[in-house]
Amino acid sequence: MISSVRKRVHCFEREEIDSTPWGCSTLLKIYDDPWKIKKVLTATDVLRHHNRLLLASDMVQNLVCTVLTDEESFKLDAGDGAEIKLWDVDTMSLHCLVLKKWASSGSFVLIGKWNEDFLKRRNLKKGDEIGLQWDKFNHRFNISVLHRAMP
């Protein structure tokens, strides 16, 4: 006896269906942007004497803290900071920065050689947009300059 197994096909709600005669879904996503963390550099991000990149706390909590090891999370919570590896996909070079949380504002900063490894080397300016994405196979973040500010 052959059993008949039926697979349930997703039925679209009325709001999900386009008003075209073909009933196409408007929720179709053709491209998923891999750069989950994007940051347009501000004046304070590019100040040479600050030597740090400020990141919004909600962005770090949702996209960075979730991929840290227990040891890295402990160091971050203890105030020591967690070492974060960054692979510059544009220049194919590996860099290490430290992620720390500012107790006063709850924001996060990447410190260390931010000026040397990124600002100077990549000639970053205010208004440039950078992107970060998690590389789960190498346990590091990929970083890229996504857009340059107009001169």
CATH of the domain at 64: 2.40.330.10
3-state class (DSSP) for residue 110:
strand
**Better-predicted residue by pLDDT, 26 or 107:** 107
Residue 46 is assigned to a structural domain of this protein: yes
pLDDT at res. 124: 95
Angle at 90 between CA 88 and CA 95, to 5 degrees: 15
Taking residues 49-67, what's their average pLDDT? 88
Residue 48 is assigned to a structural domain of this protein: yes
Q: Is the pLDDT of residue 49 over 50?
A: yes
Residue 55 is assigned to a structural domain of this protein: yes
- Both tokens assigned to 86: 């960054």
* Domain count of the fold of the chain: 1
Residue 96 is assigned to a structural domain of this protein: yes
Q: Which residues pair with 96 in a beta bridge?
A: 85
Q: pLDDT over 90 for what percent of the chain?
A: 46
Residue 26 is assigned to a structural domain of this protein: no
Q: What percent helix, strand, coil does the chain show, rounded to 5?
A: 20, 30, 50
Angle at 141 between CA 112 and CA 64, to 5 degrees: 85
What's the whole-number average pLDDT of the chain?
83
List C-alpha distances in Å: 111 to 8, 9, 50.
51, 49, 9
List of residues 6+ apart from 100 with CB closer than 8 A:
76, 79, 81, 108, 109, 111
Residue 139 is assigned to a structural domain of this protein: yes
pLDDT at res. 114: 93
The per-residue pLDDT for range 87-125, each reduced to its tens digit, is 999 999 999 999 998 888 788 999 999 999 999 999 999
Residue 10 is assigned to a structural domain of this protein: no
- Both tokens assigned to 120: 């100077």
Residue 2 is assigned to a structural domain of this protein: no
pLDDT at res. 69: 86
Domain that holds residue 84: 33-147
- Both tokens assigned to 146: 């996504």
